[in-house]
Structure 1
Amino acid sequence: MLVIALDTSTPAVTAGLVALEDGSARSLAERVTLNPRAHGELLTPHLTDVMAEAGRELAEVDAIVVGSGPGPFTGLRVGMVTAAALGHALDRPVHPVCGLDAIAARAATGEPLLVATDARRKEVYWAVYGADRARLTGPHVQRPADVPAETAGHGVTAAAGEMAGLFGLDVVEPGHPTPLGLVEAADLDAPPQPLVPLYLRRPDAEAPGPRKQVTAR
């Protein structure tokens, strides 16, 4: 089984092709660039390079996995719209995956884990995972100083994700969702879930309200 993996929920622009064989995932090719302003410019070229390096055609792909956040509005939409368009054009299922789950899936520790990524505005997106990588709580968005009180009682000893160094825990890789992590966190045997982005908070832009009366009655 061949699976395209895409993610733009963090500053990393990620595209990869993963082969699933006998229940194990193997990366055939991947491209990752850390640039929070270039998701739209780089994602499709990255995917094109990945397919060329792997020597495969898009028509050979069986499924698509895409990071659904949490993440910023503009970047997150790039990956999800690209995945939706590919799925429609190829008539292939598209599976959304929480990016924090994808990071946890590849974290090199067998202990309970905190995953934290940059939410901007001096906040982090975070979730806690058990030793089996089942999510115990989250995803949430909070100030880093408020997270330790929320994670107390889960026995967390390590952290992953780009903001892992803020909590005084052992820091483990990865810092961003990887193609292998995205595929391993997806349930490809189940029907795809709706492609709904995990924004976790309201957008900065709001629809304008009614115009104010400026003339006397």
Structure 2
Amino acid sequence: MEIFKIVLLFSILVSLSSMAATTSVVDFCVADFNYPVGPAGYPCRNPANLTVDDFVFSGLGVAGNTSNIFGVGVTSAFDLTFPALNGLGISMSRLDIGVGGVVPIHSHRVSELILVIEGEIIAGFMDSSDKVYYKTLNKGDIMIFPQSLLHFQVNVGKTPALAFVSLNSASPNFQTTTTSLFANDLPTNVIEKITLLDAIQAKKLKRIFGGTN
């Protein structure tokens, strides 16, 4: 009975602390980049120095550059580009995907919702048991990619595709499997072992993505 009381008390304290963590004592917190970021985001700028322009971001109206190896342009409204998002738990990105282009396998710390505006996209994700969920999405379709799971998008249409994604964090992170493996100094012999690629293939990808060693 005593253990039950301790567990119950602990559960209540955890619940209360979670509620406190989501209760804000300010209306907003536009990021002040003069200070380092912490677990809750950046410190706040003085509201007295803010204007309406601090709460507007126009970058998503401009098409991204798709002249790269993946044929995709990503324009992001995260806290670093749109400081008013700081602490609000939301962000957006614009995806311009050229014909045959791809958003390679990647993951975020948070969940992502995609909305297709133009084109035909195959989108999917893999769960922790390696089951794949994928479908061809068309204009007006949305799909959810659960938190931290690997996911991708491929333009399979005959025209450029446009999509917008929303993420439930102002700083969702973006880790691409390809660049994580080949854009650094991880030794080629290690890459051979963990990917089953041969040295020629591994070194070719290192040259493409700027890796060494």
Report the TM-score, using the length of structure 2 for normalisation: 0.27
Higher Cα Rg: structure 1 or 2? 2
Report the TM-score, using the length of structure 1 for normalisation: 0.26
| Structure with higher RCO (Cα < 8 A, 6+ apart) | 1
